[in-house]
């Protein structure tokens, strides 16, 4: 088998494994994941909120039978929440117990600032695992730009520096998935250290496959109509387009109301379920019964 044929086989195999784990992956994403395995580089996934970026890491952990370690980013995130923190209460207790210790001060400090008093946060935990975990750095664009500097050492050399202990190098190299919703531009330094894949809103075929996997009770004609409705909604001028999670929530709501077909006659019940699909006041206000009926009749 030629290298090209082998790669195609590997991509198809990974897509099948991801689908078994509940994630429908297109070929470009599977190819990017294989490169991540081969090169040992982090993978940066960018795209609008709700397109399934976080679920890539979850499915990957299932496929690799690996531990998933998640760092949820937010404004003000710092080294103490992301990498490590000292257990100050235990250290204070140890200091009191060492008051009558005759050893030199340097020896006492070395004892107090040892690993047993170290609280490992997600980044340090990820490089300390005996088996390679999947490290998810979620919504990195929500963190401050200064936080990216903390990441560079980890992403380049898979090590972190702790002033009191020195450099802690990775026991095993984690599989790193970084997600960004594009709310701010990421630094060139971060992008250079990563492979890159953009994830867009799903095509009709992909979203239909997702609905049939996640909500088998809606399989068949109803699933197609539900996806057609959502796809039509996304083409409208909205403040927040519904993501895959909203599609699944809305499908569950429709099933709960016993809706078996999407058409003009079901418009009233569809209106009752829009809280699962539309998440802003302005978007919701535009979906009157007549608008809903018109979209539903076209499905």
pLDDT digits (tens, 9 = 90+) for 113-171: 667 778 889 999 999 999 999 999 999 999 988 888 888 888 888 988 888 778 889 89
Using a pLDDT cut of 90, give the percent of the chain over it. Answer: 64
DSSP tag of 273? H
Judged against a pLDDT cut of 80, whether residue 249 lies above it is answered with yes
Judged against a pLDDT cut of 90, whether residue 99 lies above it is answered with no
Place of tokens 């519904």: 242
Question: How far, in whole angstroms, is CA 195 from its chain's centroid?
Answer: 16
Structure tokens at 160: 């972190």
Judged against a pLDDT cut of 90, whether residue 61 lies above it is answered with yes
Judged against a pLDDT cut of 90, whether residue 199 lies above it is answered with yes
Q: Angle 236-45-22 (CA atoms, 0-180°, nearest 5)?
A: 80
pLDDT for 63 equals 97
Judged against a pLDDT cut of 90, whether residue 298 lies above it is answered with no
Burial of 225: CB neighbours in 10 Å, binned 0-12, 13-18, 19+: buried
Using a pLDDT cut of 70, give the percent of the chain over it. Answer: 92
Residue 60 and residue 54: Cα distance in Å, rounded? 10
* Mean pLDDT taken over the chain: 89
pLDDT for 103 equals 64
Q: How many CA atoms lie within 13 A of 182 on its CB side?
A: 12
Mean pLDDT of 171-196: 94
Structure tokens at 204: 């009709």
pLDDT for 149 equals 83
Mean pLDDT of 189-211: 95
Torsion angle of C-alpha atoms 197, 10, 173, 56, degrees rounded to 10: 40
Judged against a pLDDT cut of 80, whether residue 90 lies above it is answered with no
Residue 24 and residue 22: Cα distance in Å, rounded? 7
Mean pLDDT of 162-184: 90
As beta bridge partners, residue 166 has 162
Q: Give Dmax (Cα) for the chain.
A: 86
Distances (CA, A) of 116 to 33, 128, 167, 258: 36, 14, 16, 56
As beta bridge partners, residue 46 has 180, 198
Judged against a pLDDT cut of 60, whether residue 19 lies above it is answered with yes
Handedness of CA 187, 190, 194, 200 (dihedral sign): negative
């Amino acid at each position: 088998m030629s290298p090209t044929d082998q790669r195609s086989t590997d991509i198809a195999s990974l897509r099948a494994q991801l689908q078994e784990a509940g994630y429908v992956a297109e070929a470009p994403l599977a190819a990017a994941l294989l490169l991540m395995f081969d090169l040992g580089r982090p993978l940066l996934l960018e795209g609008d909120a709700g397109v399934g970026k976080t679920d890539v890491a979850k499915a990957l952990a299932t496929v690799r039978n690996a531990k998933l370690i998640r760092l949820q980013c937010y404004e003000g995130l710092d080294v103490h929440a992301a990498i490590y923190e000292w257990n100050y209460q235990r250290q204070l207790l140890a200091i009191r117990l060492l008051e009558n210790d005759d050893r030199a001060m340097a020896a006492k400090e070395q004892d107090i600032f040892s690993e047993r008093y170290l609280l490992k946060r997600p980044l340090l935990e990820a490089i300390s695992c005996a088996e390679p975990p999947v490290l998810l750095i979620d919504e990195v664009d929500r963190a401050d730009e200064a936080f990216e500097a903390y990441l560079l050492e980890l992403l380049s050399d898979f090590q972190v520096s702790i002033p009191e202990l020195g450099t802690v190098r990775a026991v095993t190299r984690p599989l790193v998935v970084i997600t960004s919703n594009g709310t701010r531009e990421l630094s060139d330094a971060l992008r250079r250290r990563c492979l890159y894949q953009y994830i867009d809103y799903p095509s009709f075929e992909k979203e239909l496959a997702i609905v049939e996997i996640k909500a088998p009770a809606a399989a068949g004609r109803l699933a197609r109509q539900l996806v057609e409705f959502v796809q039509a909604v996304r083409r409208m001028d909205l403040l927040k387009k519904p993501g895959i999670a909203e599609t699944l929530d809305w499908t569950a709501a429709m099933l709960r109301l016993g809706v078996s077909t999407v058409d003009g006659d079901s418009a009233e019940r569809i209106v009752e379920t829009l809280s699962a699909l539309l998440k802003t006041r302005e978007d919701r206000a535009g979906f009157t019964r007549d608008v809903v009926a018109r979209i539903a009749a076209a499905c």
